[in-house]
Amino acid sequence: ISACLVGSEMCIRDSIESMQKDFSNNPNVYVLQGNYFKAVQDIDSAYNAYSHAVTLKPDFTLPLIELYQIASQGPQKEAFKEYLSNHLSKNEDAHFQRHLLADLLYIEGNMPAAEVQYLKLISINGLPNKDRIYNNLALIKAESEPKQGLEYAEIAAQLTPDSAAILDTKGWLLVKNAQYQEALTTLRTAFTMRSSDPSIRYHLAAALTGLGKAEQAKSELTQALASTSPFPCLLYTSPSPRDRQK
């Protein structure tokens, strides 16, 4: 491939096809092919290539991450969820795949199913990134069981006290539990970390409203709505699964 001229898609494709003939059982070749197809915006072919790599090596995290990224944004979501579910039915300790499945369920709004998977994950000793799992569990419980949600949020904040997103969640759960003064303190800390996030201002407005500070609440809400940053929904999506490898 290094012999190809920069930008020569035909040369790159031919080189990958040649490598596949010589190394048909090497999953890295199919990852390379998937990367090529993704670069030229042929997402269906990229998905198929990454799937082939995972078929050859089921615990290969790189193509699993790529499949997750594609599935989370496109029509392949159901196919990837089915693959993950089938894999987990035969491999109960496949924690990485379970986390991917939980996050897919979470971002599509299937909270009961996501909760089942997250609860299995937090029971695993030594599992990395539990702060994010507890954070999402807190948000899942925010409406139905805010007291339980706050307990999850507090654990997440203990694990990662310097995360604006996690402190924002804790502040929101404090609001849902009518602990407005502590919520205000927590949300102001989150705001100092990430002042561009309009959702933090929205939550600040809710805390201020609970404290009877209507004018201040109105000011925060006005600035939140005027923000040029994307206004996220109240549910906090886990960061990229790439981070789970760290």
Phi, psi (rounded to 5 degrees) for 127: -70, 130
Asked if 156 and 166 count as a contact pair (C-beta separation under 8 A), the reply is yes
Q: Nearest to residue 237, comparing CAs of 121, 106, 145, 115?
A: 106
Place of tokens 């070749």: 29
How many residues can be counted in the chain? 246
Statement: the pTM of the whole predicted model exceeds 0.75: yes
Tens of pLDDT, residue by residue over 103-137, are 999 999 999 999 999 999 999 999 999 999 999 99
Calpha distance 87→230 (Å, rounded) = 35
pLDDT tens, residue by residue, 140-175: 999 999 999 999 999 999 999 999 999 999 999 999
